[in-house]
A and B are shown apart, each in its own frame.
Chain A
Amino acid sequence: MSTASQRDASARPPVAPRSVSVVVPVYDEQENAEPLVRGIVEAVRPLDVPFEVVVVDDGSSDDTLTVLRRLLESVPELVVIALRRNFGQTLALQAGLDRARGEAIVTLDGDLQNDPRDIPRLLERLAAGADVVSGWRKDRQDAVVLRKIPSWIANRLIRGVTGIQIHDQGCSLKAYRKSVVQNLDLYADMHRFIAILTMPLGATIEEIEVRHHPRTAGESKYGISRTFKVMADLFTIQMLTWFRERPMRWFTLLGSPFLLLTVAAGLLALLGDGNMVVPAAIVVMGGTGFLACLLLGLLAEFVVSTSGPGPKRMAHEWREDS
């Protein structure tokens, strides 16, 4: 087990969540849906806390929704949300998080590769004081070339760029305090980076090893192209993390190459061979470019300052125990 936060989770009294929501987005998982729901119920019911299983059908084209609706008769804790079409995992997850009512929220994939029997262990760590508990598929049961190697590279990069010492960002099996996720608004493909997004809020993140099984039914929805998208999104999120705090400073930094070019061209004009036309053109262009960056920075400041209470400013609220 590793703790990724800068702060010590034991520094404040642990607050055990009094109810649990398990949120699972599913897409074309008709064979897995029933064993998944029953597995979750079997794992959580013995904990003797009120719970619900929120399954979001992300516009499945097979009989997933029919299977889930049939299960409602025998599983009173089940809530099924049917989306109008396939909106993708992030939005399906957001739909589930928006509906989840538990004080603790557990997320996992619908393909049965995550093991619901790990849920109680995640909840234990939340009760001990963590805000986010992330699963680590140490013994991952996936194809080496298409999944494990790209994932290993991606995780190394994420650790290097963000400084968050989590081995397996891609593991969907995670537990959160609701107060953490209710401050997050997911769009695009951000579901992979929830742990990173919670860091600026001051969340205590822990990681524990979890089981991982090979897929036995249904088909994987991802290919290797996902790796490139993950990298692009990681870059975007890191940029956002930097820029949303002090946009003017960062936009000015982005404009600094123009300033350098302007200075270099000016020096060339002064010390060069006497031809002034090209250096003068560069001075004008560089100066204009630098000015444009400054103005965009001001515009960014305007956007940030007029955007109301963002996640950062709400951090203090969710830190209060309830």
Chain B
Amino acid sequence: MKDTAFSVLVSVPPETEELLTFHAELATELERMAENFEVIYLLEPPARSEVSEQAHALYEADPGRVRVFHFAQPGDRAGMLAAGVERARGDLLFTLPGRFVCDFAVLRELRAALEDGADLAFASRTRGKVGGAARLQSELFNRVVSLASARRFNDVASETRALRRSVAEETPLYGDFHRYLPLLAERLGFRVEEIPARQHPDAHPQAVHSPLLYLWRAIDVLSIFFISRFTRHPLRLFGGVGASFAALGGAILAVVGVQRLLGTPLGDRPVLVLGTLLVGLGVQAFTIGLLGELILFFHARNLRDYRITAVYESSPPPLEP
């Protein structure tokens, strides 16, 4: 069905309680934008029976415009998104979290941004007076991500986005990297815009998360730092770290060596262990960087990091085979 104006992919977490209200409000907004849209609910496993029932009821009420996808593997949000994109009928896509976050009016602004030439537009939540602790965390998180990626966004992990199908299809997503889709898409040359959006009145920003979540986010930032700057220069990072360690360790060993020549016994000097350890770490980091370069070199044949917008040539083209 090629005449679908746009597809809305909604990730529905297991703890969702208000799917019916959510859909009613969303559909009202979408109907203002077009008649021929579809909403695909991606039910995150393990979906509670209440959530499944609510989603199914929505499908029953409007089978032409509501679709419900069930998944088996918990935690694979990137895979769910990819499955949704693959089966979506529209070429213009929206992604939304299955709970109230941004005022739905922003969807029109996101679509307008795409009509003006952007490839991906996402809503940046302006929290106002709501959720002080959550806002502080978000600001801190976005600042750290900006430092790591050298690209300043105010709300990079916002799930309220509009994007062209090509963005979702060309940007490799795995693990939790769907959160950082704007950063990854921009690396591929897609034009990304951030649109400020009012927070939905019923939004309940969570102030405290599990400690494990903070750990995962910190690791994400480290991954983004590497992906943004060093995926084509692994030895620059690993070699730099390795050289620093090895130089420090070498200096320690040199000092200890000179002291030994001047008569200080070596056998009971723990600093000798420190020097050896640093040299060891340095060489290890360096060798890992070399291994990275080797992998990159041998896989460069499959890498074409550039993206072509268009090729202009006369007809017939010169030197046509």
Contact = CB atoms under 8 A, between A and B. Distances in A.
A68 B307 CA distance: 19
22 contacts: A19-B319, A52-B319, A80-B312, A80-B313, A81-B311, A81-B312, A82-B312, A87-B189, A91-B305, A94-B304, A99-B311, A186-B300, A232-B233, A243-B293, A254-B287, A275-B268, A276-B267, A282-B273, A282-B276, A285-B277, A293-B284, A293-B287
Nearest to B189: A84
A303 B232 contact: no
Nearest to A80: B312
A97 B195 CA distance: 39
B280 A286 contact: yes
B272 A282 contact: yes
Interface of B: 188-190, 232-233, 235-236, 239, 265-270, 272-273, 276-277, 279-280, 283-284, 286-288, 290-291, 293-301, 303-314, 317-321
A95 B312 contact: no
Interface string A307-322: 1101000000000000
A171 B305 CA distance: 24
A79 to B, nearest CB: 4
Given A83-B189, A303-B291, A303-B294, A278 B312 contact: no
Nearest to A288: B280
A278 B267 contact: yes
A101 B308 contact: no
Contact of A95 (B273, B276, B300, B308): B308
A261 B268 contact: no
A281 B279 contact: no
A59 B308 contact: no
Contacts of A39: none
B267 A59 contact: no
Contact of B309 (A69, A84, A279): A84
Contacts of A52: 317-319
A84 B291 contact: no
A85 B189 contact: yes
B297 to A, nearest CB: 5
B319 A254 contact: no
Interface of A: 19, 21, 50-52, 59, 68-69, 72, 76-85, 87, 91-92, 94-95, 98-99, 101-102, 185-188, 232, 235-236, 239-240, 243-244, 247, 251, 254-255, 257-258, 261, 265, 268-269, 272-279, 281-282, 285-286, 288-289, 292-293, 296, 299-300, 303-304, 307-308, 310
A239 B239 CA distance: 12
Given A186-B300, A275-B268, A289-B284, A299 B291 contact: yes
A99 B233 CA distance: 25
Contacts of B284: 289, 292-293
B233 A278 contact: no
Given A19-B319, A303-B291, A273 B306 contact: no
Given A50-B319, A51-B319, A293-B283, A300 B291 contact: yes
Contacts of B188: 84
B291 A51 contact: no
Contacts of A269: 267
B304 to A, nearest CB: 7
A276 B265 CA distance: 12
Given A78-B314, A239-B235, A273 B267 contact: yes
A72 B318 CA distance: 12
A286 B276 CA distance: 8
A304 B45 CA distance: 40
A98 B308 CA distance: 12
Contacts of B314: 72, 76, 78
A187 B300 contact: yes
B298 A304 contact: yes
Nearest to B240: A232
Nearest to B270: A278
A78 B310 CA distance: 14
A232 B236 contact: yes
7 A-B pairs with least C-beta separation? A84-B189, A307-B298, A275-B267, A85-B189, A185-B300, A52-B318, A91-B306
Contact of A98 (B287, B299, B304): B304
B292 to A, nearest CB: 10
Contacts of A50: 318-319
B204 to A, nearest CB: 38
Contacts of B310: 81-82
A80 B311 contact: yes
Contacts of A78: 313-314, 318
A94 B306 contact: yes
A258 B280 CA distance: 7
A85 B188 CA distance: 8
A27 B269 CA distance: 58
B213 to A, nearest CB: 33
Contacts of A187: 232, 296, 300, 303, 305
B276 A285 contact: yes
A17 B120 CA distance: 45
A78 to B, nearest CB: 7
Contact of A236 (B235, B265, B283, B320): B235
Given A78-B313, A272-B266, A274-B267, A239 B290 contact: yes
Candidate in A50, A83, A235 with the most chain B CB atoms within 10 angstroms: A83
Candidate in B233, B290, B296, B320 with the most chain A CB atoms within 10 angstroms: B290
Given A239-B290, A254-B287, A82 B308 contact: yes
